Amino acid sequence: MSEGRAQARVNVAAIERNCARLCSQLRSGAELCAVVKADGYGHGAVQSARGALAGGATWLAVAGSHEARELRDAGLNERVLVMGALTMVELEEALASDADVVVWNQHYLQAVVAAGGGRVHVKLDSGMGRLGTRDPAEASRLAAVARDTPGVRLSGLMTHFATADDLADDGFFAGQLATFMDWAQPLKDDDPDLVVHAANSAAMLRDADSQLDMVRCGIAVYGMDPFGRDPAARGLEPALELSTYVADVKDTKQGESAGYGRRFIAEHDTFVGVLPIGYGDGWRRGLSNNADVLVAGHRYPLVGTVSMDNITVDLGLDPNARGLRGERAILIGFQGSERITAEEVARRLDTINYEVTCGLTPRIPRTYHRDGTPIDVAATPAPTRTVDTSPT
């Protein structure tokens, strides 16, 4: 086994199928923009993007300029939308990477002009209370200025929902969509080429009316459920498997403890497995005495404190437990008929699945496969188009 202490294996074919499934649920004419920010939600941006594009996505989106550049450096030449706030230096990098950027005030639009122009999307804050202008008149003015400024191309109109993942809410979500459409529709009527977009994964799945010209899906692309439920119920396949192995099995007598602070003390004689993964890998300390691990097709409780590099697992009293030394252990993924999802881990941590995969640190090597066939990342095709990203 060429695997090391702990690793994430990402099935690019699952990403492809998730995207194909999302595309099949789109209203005709709507496009899928795959959001690959934060290194593809911890899965790896470039490989995730390739899978998403193979599955039918036509746009990519990221938060920062260096993320756009990473996609270009890998030879991806599809439209890329940089959604986040950018400093002048970052704006220049984004535009040099031939990405679309988002504007919501005059100052920012002038910065685009100063950086040599480019394609912009005007963002209305219809209720998120974050990026974007709350003032539709200001947003319309910006759209007009963008359209009339040489070198600047007004290519989209957008907003972002605050409560799309909260199925108990209808009013606020519907209100945001109405506010956005009241502003965007007349502009779209004037210029049918504008790409009007609002929906994230949760919005596109809950309300087809929010799909408009394009949806910006992240979490669902990776096979996780935006509502924190079982992704399988929506036909989504988790693409990431997190695994380690049983490095040692300790004969543990009643009253003996495992780990820092002695937060596990054996109530009876048992075998404790030691697995080399910890919070230094993103397997959070909040999972102390609060997670399960799959070994040889069975679920075992993580016991004691998660430390930086190791966890301990109660393998029980069965003398066969000794033989589990060297076995693969699954922290997120399938084994036999057992399954641990990022949603389960998130629930235990009182957080969301997004944070579970984004939180895996660079110490976890990511490897890629298509339904079990390894992908040689180093041998991926050379760039088909070179974007000039040299500083000017």
Ligand X SMILES: *Cc1c(COP(=O)(O)O)cnc(C)c1O
Active-site positions? 37, 260
Run of H or E residues at 158: strand 152-158
Query: Of 40, 223, 226, 278, which lies in the binding site for ligand X, with binding defined by CB under 6 A?
Result: 226
Residue 219 as a binder of ligand X (CB under 6 A): the answer is yes
Q: Among 14-22, 214-222, 233-241, 384-392, which window interacts with ligand X (CB under 6 A)?
A: 214-222
Q: In this complex, which beta carbon is closest to ligand X, that of residue 35 or of residue 181? A: 35
The runs of H, that is alpha helices, within the chain are 12-24, 37-41, 45-54, 65-73, 88-96, 106-114, 136-148, 171-190, 201-206, 342-349, 353-358
Residue 217 as a binder of ligand X (CB under 6 A): the answer is yes
Residues 230 and 235: their CA atoms lie apart, in Å, by 9
> To the nearest whole angstrom, how small is the minimum distance from the Cβ of residue 131 to ligand X?
8
Q: Among 104-112, 113-121, 218-226, 313-321, which window interacts with ligand X (CB under 6 A)?
A: 218-226
Query: Of 200, 243, 305, 307, which lies in the binding site for ligand X, with binding defined by CB under 6 A?
Result: 200
Instruction: Give residue number: closest CB to ligand X.
Output: 218
Site string for ligand X, 145-164 (x = CB under 6 A): ---------------x----
Residue 216 as a binder of ligand X (CB under 6 A): the answer is yes
Q: Among 15-23, 215-223, 235-243, 313-321, which window interacts with ligand X (CB under 6 A)?
A: 215-223
> To the nearest whole angstrom, how small is the minimum distance from the Cβ of residue 372 to ligand X?
27
> To the nearest whole angstrom, how small is the minimum distance from the Cβ of residue 213 to ligand X?
14
Query: Alpha carbon of 231 to those of 18, 221, 223, 236, 263: distances in Å?
Result: 10, 11, 6, 5, 33
Residues 123 and 136: their CA atoms lie apart, in Å, by 10
Residues 342 and 390: their CA atoms lie apart, in Å, by 39
Residues 143 and 154: their CA atoms lie apart, in Å, by 7
Q: In this complex, which beta carbon is closest to ligand X, that of residue 65 or of residue 201? A: 201
Nearest to 356 by CA among 287, 306, 272, 308: 287
Contact 264/301 with Cβ under 8 angstroms? no
> To the nearest whole angstrom, how small is the minimum distance from the Cβ of residue 48 to ligand X?
12
Contact 222/239 with Cβ under 8 angstroms? yes
Residue 83 as a binder of ligand X (CB under 6 A): the answer is yes
> To the nearest whole angstrom, how small is the minimum distance from the Cβ of residue 37 to ligand X?
6
Contact 230/5 with Cβ under 8 angstroms? no
Q: Where on the chain is the footprint of ligand X (CB under 6 A)?
A: 35, 37, 83, 160, 200-202, 216-219, 226
